Amino acid sequence: MNKPSRDAQQNSLNIRHPVNLRSDAAWVLFQILDNGRSSREVMPIVWARHANPKDRAWLQQMVFGCLRNLPKLQIWLRALLNKPLKKQQKIIEHLLMVGLYQLAFARTADHAAVSETVGACKQMKEIGLSGLVNAVMRNFQREDLANQAIEEKHAQLGLPKWIYRILQAHYPEQIDTIAHNMQERAAIWIRVNLLTVEFNEYQIHLQKAGYEYTAIAPNTIQLNKPGEITLLPGYEQGWFAVQDYAAQQAAFLLAPQANDIILDCCAAPGGKTAGILELQEKIGHLYVLDSEQKRVERIHENMARLGHDARFENKLSIVTQDARDLSSLPEFDRILLDAPCSATGVIRRHPDIMWLRKRGDIDVLVDLQREILEQAWLKLKPGGTLVYATCSILPQENQQQIDAFLAAHSNAKLSPIEREGKQALPYWQILPGEENMDGFFYARLIKC
């Protein structure tokens, strides 16, 4: 598919229809599926049109629900439409997805789902298609398609064909569980900033505010119910950061020591950066690197909210730089390489990833990872530690990548990953939903 021009992409961000929940949800789906934009880019645009938090939550539920069930919705649409809609009318197909999702999966009353979807079509200045929308949704009900068996296995699991094939090849016994967990709502984990508040003290604040949670020492809390993060106690004071428990393991595996010179490579938005600082306050110096200026700005924002920019002013260097050339940097005692990846381990948080990524992207990412890993290794001191991490579950990006690196570098060896009460592992591949964590991969290398 040809990529839209920059002007066309910019114009596509102008919402032309009146404020309406269903048409706004359809617009987001259109931007993601037809224009290749991420939900993180376009959801805030529609959220800004709806002040009620319940409406914003509904929008996310509809969009993410459609993305998680996209293969089924597409199969149903193919059965119900005589021919695909084209050009400016294409967005009505996305509106139909929202309507069918409500009929098949949501708690919306059937009559409301039909009438409101038809009404949204009229508001979108496609009055001529309102009869088609009504007929499609009525036929969906009449033919009871929601309860008809779907033969395609990838559609049953809600996966693109290419992801299904890779998972089937490498996780044949686990694919159903993996797919199910990919489609579940992710847990909300927070990392308490022990440099500003004690762990027990923060729990007291949560209790007083009426939150239910599970605490895991020394600094982790899992919230039992989702909610607005900015309303949690101590958000403005920097008492915590939202970070999945799998991602929190990076700092512990790196095990920063006093006076260490450390590189956090490909670091945005800075969650692991903050975890390193909070784990080792007596760090020598931490270089934090990312290639995109906007992403680097996110690091600065997070460091400021947590108070780390002032606390570590002389020990923290945040750099905008391509990680494929680290020649200007010093040598390091420890390096965390959170490599660019397919993000297949965090699909439950960002279901648009399934449809924005393509099979051909993986080979490009594997080459990029290899190039950055080579550069980082050159900057690691003898005896130093490098932690390689991805939020992927694809072996090409993980174990196969590290196996190839070890085969090519006689001065590299694995440092087994040990966890309390668990068997030591050469690598740690976390699958989505395992211990309620995101999918993640870790390998720890020592330079001989």
Residues in the chain: 448
| Residue 391 is among the residues annotated as catalytic for this protein | yes
Contact predicate 42/31, CB 8 Å: yes
Q: Which of 242, 262, 286 is the last residue of a domain?
A: 242
> Which tokens hold the place of 374?
């080579």
Q: State whether 80 and 210 are in the same domain.
A: no
252 burial type by CB count under 10 A (0-12 exposed, 13-18 middle, 19+ buried): middle
Alpha helix positions (H), 379-436: 399-408
Contact predicate 369/401, CB 8 Å: yes
Q: Which of 97, 125, 150 is the last residue of a domain?
A: 150
Residue with tokens 């990029």: 368
248 burial type by CB count under 10 A (0-12 exposed, 13-18 middle, 19+ buried): buried
Q: Confirm whether 393 is domain-assigned.
A: yes
Q: How many CB atoms neighbour CB 46 within 10 A?
A: 22
Calculate the CA 437 to chain-centre distance.
12
The pLDDT, as a whole number, for residue 12 is 58
Q: How many CB atoms neighbour CB 360 within 10 A?
A: 9
CATH code assigned at 291: 3.40.50.150
Which H or E element spans position 160?
Answer: none
Q: State whether 208 and 255 are in the same domain.
A: no
pLDDT (tens digit per residue) in 195-241: 999 999 999 999 999 999 999 999 999 999 888 899 999 999 999 99
Q: What share of the chain is helix, strand, coil (3-state, %, to 5)?
A: 50, 15, 35
Q: Confirm whether 125 is domain-assigned.
A: yes
Q: State whether 238 and 303 are in the same domain.
A: no
Q: State whether 35 and 94 are in the same domain.
A: yes
Q: Considering only CA atoms, which of 295, 278, 277 is closest in space to residue 286?
A: 277
The pLDDT, as a whole number, for residue 227 is 80
Q: Confirm whether 131 is domain-assigned.
A: yes
Q: State whether 288 and 403 are in the same domain.
A: yes
Q: State whether 222 and 253 are in the same domain.
A: no
pLDDT band at residue 2 using 50, 70 and 90 as cut-offs: very low
Contact predicate 332/262, CB 8 Å: yes
Residue with tokens 């393509």: 358
DSSP helix/strand/coil, 184? coil
pLDDT (tens digit per residue) in 117-168: 999 999 998 888 999 999 999 999 999 999 999 999 999 999 999 999 999 9
pLDDT (tens digit per residue) in 336-385: 999 999 999 999 999 999 999 999 999 999 999 999 999 999 999 999 99
Q: State whether 220 and 349 are in the same domain.
A: no
Q: Confirm whether 42 is domain-assigned.
A: yes
The range of the structural domain enclosing residue 426 comes to 245-447
Q: State whether 115 and 234 are in the same domain.
A: no
Q: Which of 150, 171, 198 is the last residue of a domain?
A: 150
Q: Confirm whether 176 is domain-assigned.
A: no
Contact predicate 157/240, CB 8 Å: no
The catalytically annotated residue of 66, 121, 341, 391 is 391
What distance in Å separates the CA atoms of residue 46 and residue 56, rounded to the nearest whole number?
Answer: 8
Q: Confirm whether 184 is domain-assigned.
A: no
How many domains does the chain divide into?
Answer: 3
Contacts with 393 (C-beta within 8 Å, 6 or more apart), sequence order: 167, 171, 178, 344, 345, 429, 431, 432, 439, 441
Contacts with 366 (C-beta within 8 Å, 6 or more apart), sequence order: 396, 397, 401
Q: Confirm whether 161 is domain-assigned.
A: no
Alpha helix positions (H), 379-445: 399-408
Q: State whether 143 and 254 are in the same domain.
A: no
Return the bridge partners of 290, or none: 320
Q: State whether 273 and 402 are in the same domain.
A: yes
Contacts with 201 (C-beta within 8 Å, 6 or more apart), sequence order: none
What distance in Å separates the CA atoms of residue 207 and residue 200, rounded to the nearest whole number?
Answer: 11
The pLDDT, as a whole number, for residue 422 is 86
Q: Is the pLDDT confidence value at 253 over 50?
A: yes
CATH code assigned at 79: 1.10.940.10
Between 90-104 and 130-142, two packed helices, what is the crossing angle to 10 degrees?
Answer: 30
Q: Confirm whether 133 is domain-assigned.
A: yes
Q: State whether 359 and 291 are in the same domain.
A: yes
The pLDDT, as a whole number, for residue 314 is 96
Q: State whether 236 and 291 are in the same domain.
A: no
> Which tokens hold the place of 52?
């009620």
pTM of the model as a whole: 0.93
Strands (DSSP E) contained in 176-212 are 188-192
What distance in Å separates the CA atoms of residue 258 and residue 354, rounded to the nearest whole number?
Answer: 41
What distance in Å separates the CA atoms of residue 305 and residue 234, rounded to the nearest whole number?
Answer: 10
The pLDDT, as a whole number, for residue 125 is 87
What distance in Å separates the CA atoms of residue 65 and residue 184, rounded to the nearest whole number?
Answer: 10
The pLDDT, as a whole number, for residue 9 is 44
Q: What percent of the chain is predicted at pLDDT more than 90?
A: 92
CATH code assigned at 216: 3.30.70.1170
